[in-house]
Chain A
Amino acid sequence: MSYVVDRRLNSKNKSTVNRERFLRRYRGHIKKAVSDAIDKRSITDLDSGEKISIPSKDVSEPTFSHGDGGRRDRVLPGNEEFVSGDKIKRPQGGGSGGGSGSGASDSGEGDDDFVFQITQEEFLNFMFDDLALPNLVKRQLAGDEEFKYHRAGISNEGNPGQVNIVRTLKSANARRIALTGKKRKKLRALEARLEEITPPANELDEAEADTLRDEIEVLRKKIKAVPWLDDFDVKYNLQVKHPVPRSRAVMFCIMDVSGSMDQATKDVAKRFFLLLYLFLQRNYDKTEVVFIRHHTSAKEVDEQEFFYSRETGGTIVSSALKMMDEIIKDRYPASEWNIYGAQASDGDNWNDDSTHCHKLLIDNIMPAVQYFSYIEITPRDHQALWHAYEEVQKAFPDAFAMRHLVTAADIYPIFRELFQKKAA
């Protein structure tokens, strides 16, 4: 009789480890595919899985096999036309004209690419692999949320879940020994005497034996009356709470939505911020994002409005920087927060405003932030704003970065450059 087992609820994904091993091995290929994919994707589906294709020759496992040439017989089915002695013209290009017949060796995978799908999770992993917020300083913050418990020896108080059984019983045992030692000693002596006079030789002995029995009885009762476990025997593992130092970060996303920004430029900017947003969401638990859009005036908006609103106007870049400065002072004291800024613009600005920007950055913003990156999206020559920012960069070479980009294809490489993980 066969034994039938339902294994359907057993672990699936036994291959997970092997799958990870594969992805790890072909990391380079996959990263490239991911990077290519990002360029091609629309804004809304940046965070889905991706089909990856690796040239077959790169994933094949080598074996010894026969090359073309020599002499081989092959038996084939389905002959309709040939008689023995027929000569067949050799097919072009194949030397011995392989066919896929008997030579179907292990390497017979053909030249097609090896194609497979990675999940959204894996896609994002590869997308943001090796990236980090620069200069993230772990600031000791006795925050009110995160604690870790450490063991700190034994205590007499605690909750029942923390009872240390071994210590408790040891202590109970010690107490019992201490409290009953004398009585036990006496008991042993009495018992020995009783033994001596049993069976009683005369009446005197009999009387003594009776007394002894009574005394023994009393002693036993007394010993028994010592509790097996007393309240103060119970020992607890002591746990102490330690606040966990935690890094808190806020990212300011500043986007220019002025009239000079045409749809294509805005798209590029949005893609950049989307990438940044995904990156933060994914890699940092405790990161807040502040979205600011500006034309002549700046406005703090939510994610939805930031990415999808169509409002537009002239350009005063400093309005946004001013707002950032105010928000920092207001809500994100630099002593407690790692502050980041990312700004995207086409570089077009109101006449004198670029000097304001310069001053705001140098005096207020840069001292407060860990890192500020500026991207300028324009096919044209740089104007006043770029030059003003160049000055800022000279003053803060580690904390300020600026890049120029033209098309969507530049975004991902530049994004990677800006947020490349640096050796500490």
Chain B
Amino acid sequence: MSKPISTSSEWTFDLIQRYDKEISVIAEDFKLDTYRNQIEIISSEQMMDAYASVGMPIGYNHWSYGKQFLGVEQGYKRGQMGLAYEIVINSDPCISYLMEENTMMMQALVIAHACYGHNSFFKGNYLFRTWTDASAIIDYLVFAKNYIAKCEEKYGVDAVENLLDSCHAIMNYGVDRYKRPYPLSQHEEEARQKEREEYLQQQVNDLWRTIPIDGIDKKEEQSRRVPEEPQENLLYFFEKHAPLLEPWQREVVRIVRKLAQYFYPQKQTQVMNEGWATFWHHSIMNEMYDRGLITEGFMLEFMQSHSGVIYQPSFNSRYYSGINPYTLGFNMMQDIKRICQNPTDEDKQWFPEIAGSDWLTTLDFAMRNFKDESFILQFLSPKLMRDLKLFCILDDDKNQTIDVAAIHDESGYRIVREALSAQYNLSNREPNIQVYSVAVRGDRSLTLHHTRHNRMPLELKGADEVLRHIHRLWGFDVHLYSVDDGDVKQDFHCPEPIVQVPMAQTS
């Protein structure tokens, strides 16, 4: 047994180094593969700043970040909320912020959680590997901030702010799910930006070309649909095709789109990412205790903090606000380890592949190859459903009552699991809205379709307002039809039609 690293709750830089060293040794024993770490100690004001800019170290200016900041500040000063203990950025080196107010225990916990947990997740998970480029993000943010500041100088703060407002409103519809962006550094980005401005403008002109192109039959040309396929990436569509945008405006649309793209994996792996980091800080701290590196007092303080993080109020509690991703993720990770190490008959029947396998390998596999939705579908065990007492309700406006569709019993496991998995499916959470057509030869109006999922309508006020933003980007009339099974159920127009126009054909 070695001597504990420290016994007091005060931290020093020297202690942080020593804890980090020990934690990195343990992380290596557990085969965690990470980017290099950069640990930054910051004050609580700086944490509020970081918080307000969606956790990014550099960001362009926008009033909404100011709003976020004022909100956080108010909550924090009044003691209504604690600040996050840490913020970690998916970059290489991986930057983690530690707050100076933390105790030594919290600093160690955060190092284990962020520097080795989140960090290895960023490096390993396929979504992050596919969609983000850890080495280029900081550069890109610098480029974006400078570019937008220049635009503000040139075109005025209001013009830029309005444009950003509109882009933010459809940020969720700025993600390309199928194409992988390739990383660019800041310099390349700047060099290309000029080229792109000219090129894009040409492309736009191409779409709006009125002179028939040689070699294309006139008839065929007339019936050519624009776009040929519905487009789900609205920001991309506007960047490429909005007729009236200036080159700089296209670039701003692109910047917002790139950010949306960067955050896209985070949105889809919240349960896994937090579960993974929580699982590892738990394992590492316990290991440190076993190795005699930390004291019992330290461990007690840790357990208290840890159990706070994974607390899950019941659905009927006044503190209930949805399923806590930390709880679900942490428990699933623990459960996978248990199934590997001590499988029951039930486990063997449900998870023949992994029951009794090497837990480190299995857990690593799970971390790398799934997102929340598929992870739950693959690994949520009957035992965990029982432990969390999960049940599924069906809320259908055609029924008089809300029905309990399934509970944590033999007949319910699969239903509950599928329903929970679906709950993390982004396309269930966000309305499915796509660019349907553009009247290239007519009034240049843009038609969007909302394809209803389970008959769920669009929320009216939000849809109206977002449509106004879309109108700002598009520059001509915009129509949105909410379609269920081929029938138009709701329609929105911007600008509002003066006379009620008959509903458009949707076939």
Contacts and interface: CB of A to CB of B under 8 A. Distances in A.
A97 B39 CA distance: 45
A3 B49 contact: no
Interface string B419-433: 110110000011101
Contacts of B62: 18, 21
B403 A86 contact: yes
Given A4-B41, A61-B169, A100-B321, A72 B395 contact: yes
Interface stretch (B68-76, B181-189, B242-250): B68-76
B305 interface: no
B401 interface: yes
Contacts of A64: 170, 172-173, 430-431, 433, 450, 458-459, 462-463, 466
A114 B71 contact: yes
Nearest to A100: B321
Interface in A47-91: 59, 61-80, 82-90
Given A21-B62, A79-B407, A84-B409, A65 B46 contact: no
B100 A3 contact: no
B507 interface: no
Tell me what chain A mostly uses at the interface: helix, strand, loop, or mixed.
loop
B80 to A, nearest CB: 10
A33 interface: no
Place the interface of chain A in its size category: 35 or more
A111 interface: no
Contact of B115 (A2, A6, A61, A95): A2
Given A64-B466, A67-B457, A78 B316 contact: yes
A63 B460 CA distance: 10
Nearest to A83: B407
Nearest to A22: B66
B241 interface: no
A79 B73 CA distance: 37
Given A5-B41, A19-B70, A75-B419, A88 B466 contact: no
A71 B46 contact: no
A394 interface: no
A288 B172 CA distance: 57
B315 A76 contact: yes
Nearest to A118: B70
Contacts of B412: 84
Interface string B448-489: 001011111111111101100100000000000000000000
Interface string B69-102: 1110110010000000000000001000100100
Contacts of B283: none
A150 interface: no
A74 B406 CA distance: 10
A10 B46 contact: yes
B66 A20 contact: yes
A393 B77 CA distance: 51
Nearest to A10: B46
B295 interface: no
Contact of B69 (A2, A15, A102): A15
A20 B466 CA distance: 25
B: interface residue count bin: 35 or more
A88 B70 CA distance: 41
Contacts of A156: none
Contacts of A117: 70, 73-74, 77
B73 A65 contact: no
Contacts of B97: 7
Interface in B367-386: none
Contact of A88 (B115, B157, B401): B401
A63 B66 contact: no
Given A78-B317, A117-B74, A73 B168 contact: no
A61 B315 contact: no
A308 interface: no
A25 B63 contact: yes
Contacts of A2: 17, 20, 24, 36-39, 111, 115
A64 to B, nearest CB: 5
Contact of A73 (B400, B405, B430): B405
Contacts of B165: 61
Nearest to A107: B462
Nearest to B315: A76
A112 to B, nearest CB: 11
Interface of A: 1-8, 10, 12-15, 17-25, 59, 61-80, 82-90, 95-97, 99-102, 104-107, 114-117
Interface of B: 13, 16-17, 20-21, 24, 36-43, 45-46, 48-49, 52-53, 61-67, 69-71, 73-74, 77, 93, 97, 100, 111, 115, 157, 161, 165, 168-170, 172-173, 312-317, 320-323, 388-398, 400-409, 411-412, 416, 419-420, 422-423, 429-431, 433, 450, 452-463, 465-466, 469
27 contacts: A4-B39, A5-B38, A6-B41, A8-B46, A13-B49, A18-B65, A21-B62, A21-B66, A22-B63, A22-B70, A62-B462, A62-B465, A63-B172, A64-B433, A65-B459, A67-B456, A73-B395, A78-B317, A78-B388, A80-B314, A84-B391, A87-B400, A90-B400, A90-B402, A95-B397, A115-B74, A116-B73
